[in-house]
Structure 1
Amino acid sequence: MICPTSVPLARIAAAACMCGLLTVASVASAQTPAAAAAETGRLHAADQTFVASGTEAVATQRDAARIATARSSDRDVKAFAERVSTDDAKITDALRAASPRGVDVPKDDPDMAVLASINNLRGAEFDKTYIEQVALAHEQKVLSAFQAEIASGRDDQLKDAAKKALPTIQQHYEMAQDLARRKHLSVASQ
C-alpha cells in the first residue's frame, strides 16, 4: 500500500528531476552564435567565400606548379614551382585544420580552366604562359582571397590561418615578379 504522504514527495522528486534536465538542456543549447554556426557548418558569407575561393586558388597554384615541374625545362621556373607546390600543400592543410567542424574544405578542387591553359604547352611557350597567367595573375587572386578573409572574415580560426599564410603568398608573388623580370616578361599588374 502507498502511503498518502509519499505521493506528493514522488511528484516533487519527479518535478525536480525534470527541472534539472530542462536546465541542463537549456545551458547546453545556449552557445554563442559563432559556435552554433560552426557546429552546423554555417559560416558567415565572407568565410564561406574564403573557404571556396581561397582553397580553389591555392589548389590551382599547387597543381599548376606540379605541372610546371614536369613540363618546364627552365631550372628557375622549376625551382619556383617546387617551392609553390610545397608551400601551397601546407597552406591547404592549415585551412582544413582551421575550418570549423562540419565545414567541408575541398582539398583537391583546382580551377580546371587555368590548368588546361598550360597543360599542353612545352618549353619556352609553357614557361611564358605559366609565369604570366599562373605565377603572376593567378597569384594575385590568391592574395586577394586571403586579404579579403583577413579584412572581412568572422571565423577567428580561418582569419588566423589566412594571416599566417599571407606572408608566404606575398613571397610567392614577389618571387613570381622577380622570375618574370629575369625572363624579360612584363610584371605589370595582370
Structure 2
Amino acid sequence: MIRLPLALSSVCIASLLTVASVANAQTAAAPAAADAGRLHAADQAFVADATKGVSTQRDAARIATARSTDRDVKAFAERVSTDNAKISDALRAASPRGVDVPKNDPDAAVLASINNLRGADFDKTYIEQVALAGEQKTLAAFQAEIASGRDEQLKAAATKALPTIQEHYAMAQDLAKRKHLATSAQ
C-alpha cells in the first residue's frame, strides 16, 4: 500500500471534492440554461406570427415588383420589401439565445394566391390580400407583443418596428383608395 503524506492526501481529497462540486453545479445549471431559451406563450406567438407576416409581406413584394405593371404597386412593394428585410433582421437579433427564429417563413397559401396572376388581376389581389389583409395581421401581431409580451428585447424590437408597419398599412389603404378598391381588409 502506498502511503502519502497527510498534506498531500488532504490536497487530493480537496481536489476531488472541488471537481465533484463543479460537476454538480454544471448539471444544475443545464436546466436553467434550457429554461432561458424558453419564451412565454405571448412571446412565442409573436415570434411565429411576426416572422410569418414579415416574410410573407417581403416575398409577396418581391413577386409584385416582377409581376405588376402598375408603378404605384411596384413602389409600394419595393418599400415593403426593403423595410421588412430590416425588420426581419431586427427580430432575429432581438430574440433570446436558443430561440429559433426562422429566416424565411412565408405563408405559402398567400404567395400561391398571387403567384400566377398578372396585370390588373395581380394588382387587385396583391392590394387586397397582401397589402391590406397581410399588413393588418402583421400590425396586430406587433401590437399584441407590445401589449402582452414579456421578453423586453422582443417588445423593444416590436415597438421600434411598429411605426414602419403602421406606415405600410396606411400606404396600403391609400393605394387601395387610389385603385378604387375597399380600404379595409375583408
Give yes or no for TM over 0.5.
yes
Residue aligned with 1:187, SS: coil
Superimposed CA distance per residue, residues 83-112 of structure 1 (whole angstroms, 9 cap, x where no aligned partner): 000001111111112222222211121101
Counterpart of 1:46, as a letter, is A
Question: Out of 179, 183, 186, which is 1:187 matched to?
Answer: 183
How many residue pairs get aligned? The number is: 185
Deviation of residue 166 (structure 1)? 1.0
C-alpha distance 42-15 of structure 1, shift in aligned 2 (>3 A): same
CA distance, structure 1, for counterparts of residue 12 and residue 43 of structure 2: 46
Question: Out of 14, 30, 33, which is 1:16 matched to?
Answer: 14
Other-structure match for 1:54 = 50
Question: Out of 135, 149, 155, which is 1:159 matched to?
Answer: 155
User: 1:88 aligned to 2:84?
Assistant: yes
Deviation of residue 50 (structure 1)? 1.6
Deviation of residue 2 (structure 1)? 7.4
CA distance, structure 2, for counterparts of residue 11 and residue 151 of structure 1: 61
Structure 1: tracts of 5 or more residues without a match: none
Which range moves more in the overlay, 18-27 or 174-183? 18-27
Deviation of residue 187 (structure 1)? 1.2
Other-structure match for 2:35 = 37
CA distance, structure 2, for counterparts of residue 22 and residue 44 of structure 1: 34
C-alpha distance 107-26 of structure 1, shift in aligned 2 (>3 A): same
Question: Out of 65, 74, 80, which is 1:69 matched to?
Answer: 65
CA distance, structure 2, for counterparts of residue 159 and residue 23 of structure 1: 38
Deviation of residue 30 (structure 1)? 5.6
CA distance, structure 2, for counterparts of residue 85 and residue 111 of structure 1: 15
CA distance, structure 1, for counterparts of residue 162 and residue 22 of structure 2: 42
Q: How does 1:99-118 map to 2 (within 5 A)?
A: 99-118=95-114
Q: Quick check: 2:128–2:185 contact (8 Å CA) kept in 1?
A: no
CA distance, structure 2, for counterparts of residue 151 and residue 128 of structure 1: 33
- What TM-score, normalized to structure 2? 0.86
Which range moves more in the overlay, 74-83 or 117-126? 117-126
CA distance, structure 2, for counterparts of residue 93 and residue 48 of structure 1: 17
Superimposed CA distance per residue, residues 44-87 of structure 1 (whole angstroms, 9 cap, x where no aligned partner): 22222222221011110001111111111111110000000000
- Identity across the alignment (%): 72
Structure 2: tracts of 5 or more residues without a match: none
C-alpha distance 119-26 of structure 1, shift in aligned 2 (>3 A): same
Deviation of residue 42 (structure 1)? 2.4
Deviation of residue 43 (structure 1)? 2.0
Counterpart of 1:43, as a letter, is L
Deviation of residue 32 (structure 1)? 11
CA distance, structure 1, for counterparts of residue 154 and residue 115 of structure 2: 32
CA distance, structure 2, for counterparts of residue 188 and residue 164 of structure 1: 24
